[in-house]
Amino acid sequence: MQLMFLGTSAGRPTKTRNVTAAALVLPDPLHVFWLFDAGEGTQHRMLGSKLKLNRLEKIFITHLHGDHIYGLPGLLSSRSYFEGAVPLELIGPPGIKAFIEGVFALSGTHLEYEFTIREVEPGLILENDRFKVTADTLVHRLPCYGYRIEEKESPGPLKLERLAEFGLKPGPEYGQLKRGEDVQLADGTWIRSSEVAGKPLKGRIVTILGDTSPCDAAIALAKDADLLVHEATFAPGMEEKAAAYGHSTSMQAAQIALEANVKTLVLTHFSSRLCAEDVEQLVQAAQTLIPDTRAAEDYSEIAITRPERG
């Protein structure tokens, strides 16, 4: 599982940073990715990446400010030109449906793939056999959401040497044993799953927050996360201005991560007034609380490993 940033600037793009967008590439064999926000120019950023629009399965929108949604109409329209596109679901706050339907109606846009829109409320918003996603409201000038993505526990690897001792060759029985089911051989011998399957693999937790001032919801969404993506629009010492605009400083982001027991903190949504040296100073300050703090850069990729594998 990897997270790729396609835009890391706040408010407006710069020469090196586009406005907000990030892609979560799901583990094999799913071969799909989820997009979180789609600021203006997101599809242009995707052209410079390995991401393919026909493998985009879901789009999660945090809020309706332009630097988070103005790239949606063009991206959704262009996707019609890709063959074999999987069904796409757009998930976001109230108003996202009216925004998209209004733009498409006025522009005469018709999509050539299965597309649905769902407006969210706080709570569990998605669950399947691999993941569950929870949303909650943050503190911003517009209704804004954060998303917690939890990968479910998966079966551990089979002990192949032990299976060879039983004379069991690869086949359907392997799947049964990985699922925790015992298997009886033709000679009546029972193979116990507990004897031949390794410990279940703990799932990963990724939390991606929209624009926000520090709040309890941010801590709850990030609890014990392997990776937290948190905005850092302002530098330390600018807390009053950050609060006035519904944003956070880098140190406030680090404090949220500390209280939530986060493993890795990734700062993003940097003010266009900040130069590369300024961003580095924000990261160094946050590292006093969370040693594994990083600055998101456009096209930067972060591998999210399972806890057992470090």
The annotation places the binding site at 63, 65, 67-68, 140, 211, 269
- Annotated binding-site ranges for Zn(2+): 63, 65, 67-68, 140, 211, 269
> Of the residues 28, 37, 67, 182, which is catalytic?
67
Q: Is 256 helix (H, G, I), strand (E, B) or coil?
A: helix
Q: How many residues does the chain have?
A: 310
Q: Which residues pair with 136 in a beta bridge?
A: 146
Examine residue 29 and say whether the peptide bond preceding it is cis (omega within 30 degrees of 0): yes
Q: Is 198 helix (H, G, I), strand (E, B) or coil?
A: coil
Give the containing element (helix H, strand E) for 34.
strand 33-36
Q: Distance (Å, rounded) from C-alpha 81 to C-alpha 132?
A: 30
**Identity at 164, one-letter amino acid code:** A
Q: Distance (Å, rounded) from C-alpha 246 to C-alpha 112?
A: 38
Beta strands in 246-309 (DSSP E): 264-268, 270-271, 293-295, 301-303
Distance linking the first and last C-alpha atoms of the chain: 14
What is the torsional sign of CA 135, 241, 225, 260? negative
Q: Is 165 helix (H, G, I), strand (E, B) or coil?
A: helix
3-state DSSP of 49-118: CCCCHHHEEEEECCCCCHHHHCCHHHHHHHHHHCCCCCCEEEEECCCHHHHHHHHHHHHCCCCCCCEEEE
Tell me whether residue 67 is one of the annotated catalytic residues.
yes
Name the residues annotated as catalytic: 67
